[in-house]
Amino acid sequence: MKASERLTFTQLNLSHKEESVLLSTNEQTMKYIRGGALNKIKAEERFEYQLELNSASPDFGFFSCYLKESSTYIGNAKFTHFEDEYIEVGYALLPAYWGMGLATEILVSLIAHAKTVKDSKPLIGIVETRNNASLHVLEKQGFVFKEMRSNEGIEIALYTKTNY
């Protein structure tokens, strides 16, 4: 994934464990992803799962996101296959970086990345329905509401983008 104006991206690897666990154990971030923070053991299991997905391709998986200026870790981006017919795009940011336009910048970078991979499936963004900020980010980038679902008791909205 190419760098954006303010961010650099690195496919998640073993050296990112501490950062990834920090993100997964953050209550504010994870309430919109899993309904709440993971404990350290579950966060480490999630990290191992992410590494496993990343081993399949350098173009797909989870990416650590850093501010260019300071190399500060801000969160993760997601670019994975979803239900064989979509490519899921997503992000998780530490709360200190909310409201700065970084989620939009990550999503724009993910859309640009999708244009470079051979697997040109429609994109899908999955958002917890209480996360109005992320719903707005998807709509601003041309994603269209597809359907509502429940995932482990959490109401989620699926948004798709076919032309990118």
- Predicted TM-score of the model (pTM): 0.94
Q: Is 32 helix (H, G, I), strand (E, B) or coil?
A: coil
What is the spatial distance between Cα 49 and Cα 21, in angstroms, rounded to a whole number?
12
Going residue by residue through the chain (164 aa), what tens digit of pLDDT does each one get?
999 999 999 999 999 999 999 999 999 999 988 888 999 999 999 999 999 999 989 999 999 999 999 999 999 999 999 999 999 999 999 999 999 999 999 999 999 999 999 877 999 999 999 999 999 999 999 999 999 999 888 899 999 999 98
Closest CA to 78 of 96, 67, 64: 64
**Pairwise CA distance, residues 24 & 62, whole Å:** 13
Domain ranges of the chain: 7-119
Q: Could you tell me the CATH superfamily of domain 7-119?
A: Gcn5-related N-acetyltransferase (GNAT) (3.40.630.30)
DSSP string, 117-150: SS--PPEEEEEETT-HHHHHHHHHTT-EEEEEEE
CB 17 within 8 A of CB 44: yes
